[in-house]
Amino acid sequence: MARRKRGQAVHGWVCLDKPLELGSTEAVSIVRRLFDAQKAGHAGTLDPLATGILPIALGEATKTVPFMMEAEKVYRFTLTWGVSTDSVDAEGAEIARSDVRPSQEAIEAALPTFVGEIEQVPPRFSAIKVDGQRAYDLARDGAEFELKSRPVTIHEATITAADTDRVEIRVRTGKGVYIRSLARDLALMLEAEGHVTALRREQVGPFSTENAVSLDILREMVHRGAASEGLLPVTTALDDIPDLAVTATDAFSLRQGRPILLLPRQIETLKARLSPGSRTVSAFEDGTLVALCQMRAGRLEPDRVFNLQPSSSEAPRAER
């Protein structure tokens, strides 16, 4: 006899505005307990010393987490001049000091160097694995090691505030960018010492400060029996993926793991809407997400199948 899963079958996303000094894993655990959800995960770790957007997936939404790992992100950080630390943030030990205070003009002239596809070396205090161990563990132990540079993309970097001792910069990035590495490299280019004293993530794909909730607000919702007000649909993470409405018969086939045939006009429509290099299509039955599929040779082949109750809020209805 199969063991009954603990918790409730809660499905959706929580766009959490993570507070300072709370780890991402701990934040997920708190949200999972608040909803008494069977399953939970997050889309993109946020350091304890950072605040802002931490998308947390509950239930069937966890199947859409991989799509958020590729999403663009927006950060705003403060780089304070004068002191460098080994972790490039306020938690680390001081390793250098300088009286150099770059001007706003010098910073503006340097920033374009870091825009576009660049090579970036992760900070030593990071979760990157080196010979099976986390880099931050090796760094704390004083071990000697090197991290390889890797290509990352920064779409935009602009100064939003500045004075003699600090500068605030807003950046829009692709995946895998370390803001502390950006701060470290910017200070190095300007022949100055500095470290990150504030970091806030303002957006991850469709999740932003505009649809975020704090833990206090979430607790209040749960207390008054309105937890669902803090949930966003499972499909929130699929905004950039073309959708197709399917019949009940085709929906049944997809749920059974069987591919369905597409009509020529459907193929042309989907091809026009697919991102370059992508084959992923979301299939809906009467507005309820059925499966994420790969379009191949005129067919939709189910990749991830969803166990969701009919809901008109999942996606707009369309004709097949």
Residue ranges covered by each domain of the chain: 12-70+206-235, 73-203, 241-305
Q: Is 243 a catalytic residue?
A: no
Take residue 250 and report the two structure tokens written for it: 């085709």
| Residue 195 near residue 185, CB atoms below 8 Å | no
Q: How far apart are CA 303 and CA 65, in angstroms?
A: 14
Q: How far apart are CA 279 and CA 300, in angstroms?
A: 9
Helices (H), 165-214: 179-189
Please list the residues that pair with 55 across neighbouring strands: 15
What's the CATH superfamily of 241-305? PUA domain (2.30.130.10)
Q: Would you state the torsion angle of the CA atoms of residues 316, 260, 266, 303, taken in this order, to the nearest 10 degrees?
A: 60
Centroid of chain to Cα 283: 23
Helix (H) / strand (E) element for 101: namely none
pLDDT band at 124 (very low <50, low <70, confident <90, very high): confident
> Which CATH topology does 73-203 take?
Pseudouridine synthase (3.30.2350)
> Does the fold of domain 241-305 match that of domain 12-70+206-235?
no
Q: Could you tell me which of 308, 293, 285 has the C-alpha nearest to residue 233? A: 308
Q: What is the pLDDT of residues 138-173, one digit of tens each?
A: 778 777 878 889 999 999 999 999 999 999 999 999
| Residue 167 near residue 76, CB atoms below 8 Å | no
Averaged pLDDT, 61-67: 93
Q: What is the pLDDT of residues 79-93, one digit of tens each?
A: 999 999 999 999 999
The catalytically annotated residue of 17, 36, 47, 250 is 47
Q: How far apart are CA 137 and CA 201, in angstroms?
A: 25
Q: How far is CA 210 from CA 5, 201, 203, 207, in A?
A: 34, 12, 9, 8
Q: How far apart are CA 186 and CA 102, in angstroms?
A: 10
Q: How far apart are CA 163 and CA 110, in angstroms?
A: 17
pLDDT at 145: 78
| Residue 44 near residue 73, CB atoms below 8 Å | yes
pLDDT band at 125 (very low <50, low <70, confident <90, very high): confident
Second CATH level (architecture) for the domain 12-70+206-235: 2-Layer Sandwich (3.30)
Q: How far is CA 163 from CA 81, 247, 268, in A?
A: 10, 61, 54
Helices (H), 111-176: 135-140
pLDDT band at 205 (very low <50, low <70, confident <90, very high): very high
pLDDT band at 316 (very low <50, low <70, confident <90, very high): very low
Please tell me the number of Cα atoms within 13 Å of 280 on its side-chain side.
15
Percent of the chain with pLDDT over 70: 95
| Residue 312 near residue 66, CB atoms below 8 Å | no
Phi, psi of 31 (to 5 degrees): -65, -40
Say how many C-beta atoms besides its own lie within 10 A of residue 201's C-beta.
24
Say how many C-beta atoms besides its own lie within 10 A of residue 93's C-beta.
7
Mean pLDDT score of the chain, rounded to an integer? 91
| Residue 43 near residue 33, CB atoms below 8 Å | no
Stretch among 141-145, 153-157, 287-291, 296-300 having the lowest mean pLDDT:
141-145
Please tell me the number of Cα atoms within 13 Å of 36 on its side-chain side.
8
pLDDT at 254: 96
